[in-house]
Amino acid sequence: MGTKFINLPSKTSSEKPKHAVCDGDLTTKPTAASGGFPRKQNDLLPDLKIVSIPISDNKKSDHRVRKESNNSIRKIIPTITKFGVRKPVILTSEFELIDGHALMEGAVQLGIKTIPCIIASDLSEAEIRALRIALNKTQELGDWDNNVLRVSDAPA
């Protein structure tokens, strides 16, 4: 089973606003990871494509920044069952997980064969590590709004 593109880029060119890239649109040299094209440094709006990839092609990371938790996987399974997979996992160009380990494991346990992914092929190893930490740390930072969460205010 191969990779299925869910949202192909449009044929029309769309310029990003000047403020979307910091430091005057600096670029790095072309690399294999960037597909041979120079990549913008500090690109605040990278060109993201969601692709559907067989779960069997994805690799768990040996560099996870959080410990594996059966509790988190057990809690995510009812959410996937009710709503489906609504958030892509993030992978390196070698299909190693950067973010979404619990989601991926929950999908595996439910027998899902493919999962939506974003391939972060433009990042260096150091950037991948920093992204892993940032994505996991920012999930801990927000406070719940108990007024919004009250059941009596929930839509029917």
Q: What domains appear along the chain, each with residue ranges and CATH number?
A: 47-138 (3.90.1530.10)
Half-sphere exposure of 68 (CA within 13 A, CB side): 10
Q: Are 63 and 130 in contact (CB under 8 A)?
A: no
Strand partners, 50: 118
3-state secondary structure of 41: coil
Q: What is the pLDDT of residue 58?
A: 84
- DSSP annotation of 5: E
Q: What is the pLDDT of residue 26?
A: 44
pTM of the full structure? 0.67
Give the separation between CA 49 and CA 138, rounded to whole angstroms: 23
Q: What is the pLDDT of residue 48?
A: 86
Residue in 124, 122, 140, 129 with CA at minimum distance from that of residue 64: 129
Q: What is the pLDDT of residue 6?
A: 55
- pLDDT tens for the chain, 156 residues long, are 455 555 544 444 444 433 333 333 445 555 555 555 555 566 788 888 899 999 999 887 776 666 677 788 899 999 999 999 999 999 999 999 999 999 999 999 999 999 999 999 889 999 999 999 898 888 777 888 888 888 765 555
- DSSP annotation of 153: G
Give the separation between CA 129 and CA 104, rounded to whole angstroms: 19
Q: What ranges make up the beta strands (E) of 55-137? A: 89-91, 97-99, 114-119
Q: What is the pLDDT of residue 99?
A: 92
Q: What is the pLDDT of residue 41?
A: 61
For the record, the structure tokens of 42 come out as 């500090």
Q: What is the pLDDT of residue 39?
A: 56
Residue in 34, 40, 45 with CA at minimum distance from that of residue 92: 34
Give the separation between CA 109 and CA 53, rounded to whole angstroms: 17
Give the separation between CA 61 and CA 100, rounded to whole angstroms: 10
Beta carbons within 10 angstroms of residue 87's beta carbon = 14
Q: What is the pLDDT of residue 76?
A: 92
Return the amino acid letter for 24.
Answer: G
